[in-house]
């Protein structure tokens, strides 16, 4: 299946943009194939993708990179603002309508506060100046000071109220935005999440969400919420302009005209030059493949240094120096990339820019010099205050515009992401409900038929599974064996509908599997993955109960699952029983030496770290994972075990298989298990040998031994087989 986005092969194609329609001709899929994770608002998605093209059109800039001010990008930003503003306004409005209006009004009001402050100070200064001439009017001066104190008091109350109102609105908005983002991440399936363009989309969407909590960095983040603050800046600019106007209207002169114009000159010059000098905002080297590779290596080294998981190997193999050296080298290289040597013309431009700014700032003082003889001290102070605030506000406004410009692209990502749908979900009109199958001799369970099934991981060129042909009857027990990297786990993931296949067919209970909602199939399966999840810092109850969340509070159901999983011997003596929290044996975990680590239990004891939490061994974690899988055994037609018992000792492994088979005494479940241990193969009715992505042999132990092929060879290589 080819991913298609545009007719011509652009950088977007090369980076795996999701297709607008399914390319059925290339994949050989049936028309009933579920739709891809098509962004619902493709025009916003197109604008977002277009903004990620590098200026030469040859590559895509990494997600999270600020966009440059090109004509194309500016057009995209305007389009995004138009297309998404409705949604944003609805979100803003929906959070707290009254508080939202207050927020806008208070932000406008805040901008005028400095004008009152300067005006009040100017009047006090003018009055105080009379002290020198002996004409001091104490009553008036006291009144002015009292008014100023009152102004400060009101300003304080205004600020306090406006900050608390803003916090409430921001928290509410943040909640809504984060909720939508988390919901999207949970809704999407693995194929959607592995599509490079969707991953980038979600990354920028995450940055958008982070910008609401002030956690963003590097993108010049400014959430649309923060943009409300520019209302303060705008109102500040207008109120200072008004102040300057009132100063000049006391007797207009050309010096006042110069005053108003000169106040703006540095800002105007700076504003225009920031748009004109594109080289300053587009460091090409930042996006080269070379830098990306170095940056990745840099991150890897940092991760190695920080993560506890690698500590043992780092110490054992003496990797410390190598990690530090590589980290330092990559860091230096990155610094070189981030600060490319400036060309002499760029340096000259920078010099000219700063000199002009300085001259313009100096020009601002000319009106002061001209007026000094006849203007009052208050007017002079007022002029300086207004001029500086204006400069500051316009500069701040310019920075806000730039940040807001960038946040529009993050908004586009968020807007598109929250509309994404899982790739594997079938169309409502074609969906069928799952029903258990009946097999020969009244056996129940899941029937699986794969025909010429092939699968390639997203972003990979070579298929991992090729022409898989396999029929598993309801109630059958099948062992999958083969060499490392052959594709066994991948086959399990495809059977579980965690991944879709590109060609061939897969029938489950005589129905095309693509007609089922994957969650409908998964509800009837239980699985034990090669690397079982460890819900660290969560209780035994939660670690087990998540196997069937409806029963997470049912102590009897959890106790039964722990019994089946062989976990009770070490769970029962725990100080807080099912409520004891479980920890992974990291190097940072705390051990309390006063508690003996050899508490009675199954096999070796656990290492208690605190009264309410324990650190489990690898095998104990595996028993918890098995218990979790047993939580859903009653309602499952299929058990899939991917070396889930590999960490168990031989006796425990036998017990596990006995329990597994006992749990389907009436042969009411299909069981598929992947194993490298030949002693466990005896539990299987049939064996599939997976080699190099295909099923090399399939049959009973007896048949395959007689065949004397790959299985017989594997079997003979295992000492415990004899």
Residues found near ligand ATP in the complex (CB under 6 A): 457, 460, 464, 482, 484-490, 530
- The least CB distance from residue 185 to ligand ATP, in Å, is 18
To the nearest whole angstrom, how small is the minimum distance from the Cβ of residue 491 to ligand ATP? Answer: 7
Residue 222 beta carbon to ligand ATP: minimum distance, rounded to whole angstroms: 36
626: closest CA among 598, 608, 602? 602
Mapping DSSP onto H, E and C, the string for 422-442 reads CCCCCCHHHCCCCCCEECHHH
If the CB atoms of residues 415 and 488 are measured against ligand ATP, the closer one turns out to be 488
- Residue 9 or 460 having the CB closest to ligand ATP: 460
Least distance CB 464 / ligand ATP (angstroms):
4
Q: What is the DSSP letter of 344?
A: H
Least Cβ distance, residue 479 to ligand ATP (angstroms): 13
Q: Which of 115, 374, 83, 76 is nearest to 238 (CA)?
A: 115
How do strand 477-482 and strand 670-674 relate by DSSP bridges? parallel
Count the residues in the chain: 722
Least Å distance, CB 543 to ligand ATP, is 24
- Phi first, then psi: what are they for 477, rounded to 5°? -110, 120
For ligand ATP, which is the closer residue by CB, 106 or 527? Answer: 527
Query: What's the rounded Cα separation, in Å, for the pair 524 and 431?
Result: 17
Q: Which is nearer to ligand ATP, 158 or 529 (CB)?
A: 529
The DSSP annotation for 126-175 comes to HHHHHHHHT---HHHHHHHHHHHHHHHHHHHHHHHHHHHHHHHHHHHHHH
Q: C-beta of 184: minimal distance to ligand ATP in Å? A: 21
- What is the enclosing helix (H) or strand (E) of 395? helix 377-417
Nearer to ligand ATP, 468 or 633 (CB): 468
- Residues 320, 246: Cα–Cα separation, whole Å: 69
How big is the CA angle at 123 (ends 119 and 127), to the nearest 5 degrees?
170
Cβ-based nearer residue to ligand ATP, 473 or 697: 697
Neighbours of 155 (CB within 10 A): 15
Q: Which of residues 189 and 236 has its CB atom nearest to ligand ATP in the complex?
A: 189
C-alpha triplet 264, 270, 272: angle, nearest 5°: 100
Closest approach, Cβ 12 to ligand ATP, in A, equals: 22
For residue 168, what are the contacts with CB-CB under 8 A and spacing of at least 6? 96, 99
Cα distance between residue 352 and residue 78, in whole Å: 32
User: In the complex with ligand ATP, which residue's Cβ is closer, 370 or 696?
Assistant: 696
Question: Quick one: 422 or 463, whose CB is closer to ligand ATP?
Answer: 463
What is residue 503's three-state secondary structure? strand
Q: Give 190 or 552: the residue with its C-beta nearer to ligand ATP.
A: 190
CB of 459 to ligand ATP, least distance (A): 7
Helix, strand, coil % in the chain, rounded to nearest 5 = 60, 10, 30
- What's the min distance (Å) between Cβ of 690 and ligand ATP? 6
């Amino acid at each position: 299946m080819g991913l298609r986005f545009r007719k011509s092969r652009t950088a977007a194609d090369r980076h795996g943009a999701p297709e607008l329609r399914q390319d059925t001709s290339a994949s050989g899929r049936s028309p009933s194939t579920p739709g891809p994770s098509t962004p619902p608002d493709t025009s916003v998605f197109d604008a977002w993708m277009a903004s990620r093209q590098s200026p030469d059109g040859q590559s895509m800039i990494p997600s999270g990179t600020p966009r440059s001010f090109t004509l194309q990008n500016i057009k995209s930003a305007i389009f995004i603002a138009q297309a998404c503003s409705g949604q944003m306004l609805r979100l803003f409005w929906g959070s707290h309508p009254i508080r939202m209006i207050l927020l806008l009004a208070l932000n406008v009001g805040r901008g005028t506060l400095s004008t009152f402050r300067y005006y009040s100070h100017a009047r006090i200064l003018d009055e105080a100046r009379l002290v020198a001439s002996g004409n001091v009017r104490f009553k008036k001066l006291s009144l002015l000071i009292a008014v100023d104190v009152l102004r400060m008091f009101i300003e304080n109350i205004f600020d306090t109220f406006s900050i608390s109102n803003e916090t409430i609105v921001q928290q509410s908005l943040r909640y809504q935005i984060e909720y939508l983002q988390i919901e999207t991440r949970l809704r999407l399936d693995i194929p959607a999440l592995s599509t490079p363009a969707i991953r980038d989309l979600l990354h920028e969407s995450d940055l958008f969400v982070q910008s609401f909590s002030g956690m963003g960095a590097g993108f010049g983040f400014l959430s649309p919420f923060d943009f409300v603050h520019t209302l303060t800046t705008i109102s500040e600019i207008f109120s200072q302009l008004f102040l300057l106007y009132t100063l000049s209207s006391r007797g207009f002169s050309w010096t006042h005209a110069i005053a108003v114009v000169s106040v703006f000159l540095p800002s105007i010059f700076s504003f225009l030059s920031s748009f004109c000098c594109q080289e300053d905002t587009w460091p090409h080297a930042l996006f080269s493949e070379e830098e990306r590779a170095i940056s990745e290596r840099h991150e890897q080294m940092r991760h190695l240094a920080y993560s506890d998981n690698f500590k043992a190997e780092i110490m054992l193999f003496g990797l410390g120096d190598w990690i530090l050296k590589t980290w330092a080298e990559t860091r230096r290289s990155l610094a070189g990339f981030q600060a490319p040597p400036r060309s002499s013309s760029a340096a000259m431009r920078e010099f000219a820019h700063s000199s002009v700014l300085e001259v313009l700032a100096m020009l601002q003082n000319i009106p002061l010099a001209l007026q000094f003889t006849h203007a009052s001290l208050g007017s002079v102070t007022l002029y300086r205050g207004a001029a500086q605030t204006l400069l500051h506000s316009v500069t701040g406004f310019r920075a806000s515009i730039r940040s807001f410009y960038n946040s529009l692209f993050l908004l586009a990502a968020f807007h598109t992401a929250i509309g994404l749908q899982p790739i594997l979900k079938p169309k409502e009109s074609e969906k069928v409900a799952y029903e258990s199958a009946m097999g020969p001799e009244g056996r129940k369970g899941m029937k699986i038929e794969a025909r010429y099934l092939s699968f390639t991981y997203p972003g990979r060129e070579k298929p991992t599974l090729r022409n898989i042909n396999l029929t598993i009857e309801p109630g059958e027990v099948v062992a999958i064996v083969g060499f490392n990297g052959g594709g066994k786990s991948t086959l399990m993931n495809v059977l579980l509908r965690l991944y879709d296949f590109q060609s061939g067919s897969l029938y489950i209970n005589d129905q095309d599997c693509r007609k089922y909602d994957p969650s409908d199939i998964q509800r009837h399966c239980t699985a034990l993955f090669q690397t079982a999840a460890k819900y660290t810092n969560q209780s035994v109850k939660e670690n087990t109960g998540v196997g069937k969340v409806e029963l997470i509070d049912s102590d009897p159901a959890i106790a039964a699952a722990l019994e089946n999983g062989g976990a009770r011997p070490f769970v029962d003596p725990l100080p807080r029983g099912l409520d004891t929290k479980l920890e992974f044996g990291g190097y940072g975990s705390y051990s309390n030496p006063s508690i003996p680590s050899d508490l009675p239990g199954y096999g070796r004891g656990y290492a208690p770290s605190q009264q309410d939490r324990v650190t489990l061994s690898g095998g104990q974690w595996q028993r918890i994972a098995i218990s979790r899988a047993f939580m859903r055994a009653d309602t499952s037609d299929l058990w899939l075990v991917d070396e889930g018992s590999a960490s168990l000792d031989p006796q425990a492994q036998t017990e596990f298989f006995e329990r597994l088979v006992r749990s389907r005494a009436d042969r009411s479940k299909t069981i598929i298990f992947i194993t490298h241990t030949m002693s466990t193969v005896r539990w299987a009715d049939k064996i599939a040998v997976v080699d190099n992505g295909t099923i090399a042999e399939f049959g009973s132990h007896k048949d395959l031994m007689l065949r004397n092929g790959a299985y017989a060879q594997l079997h003979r290589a295992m000492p415990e087989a004899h």
